Amino acid sequence: MNEEIINVSMELIATSGTAKSLALSAINIAKNGDKEGAIKLISEAKIELNKVHNIHGDLISKEASGKKLDISLLFIHSQDHLTSAIIIMDLAEHLVNLYTK
């Protein structure tokens, strides 16, 4: 397996995990009535998701330019983490809005 894909996969997993944790924390804080704290955590989660999107975009650009990528089960697993982070982020934004109305 290509070392670059291993490193990128691990970075995607870690950064997506950070985004998920921040988003889930935002929900809990919003549930307790701290709108400002929840919004701050949502903003931090968005920063982490932007990092993941940039990493992902770089891989897409490399493949589009003809570089063959060695896709592995670890890379597929990292995509699962990215997808779940995006879904949790979307839900967190809605729940924070509901809890803080």
Q: Give me the active site residues, please.
A: 77
Both structure tokens of 47: 């920063």
Residue 58 CA: distances (Å) to CA of 43, 45, 65, 82, 95: 23, 20, 11, 15, 31
Contact criterion met (CB below 8 Å) for 16 and 84? yes
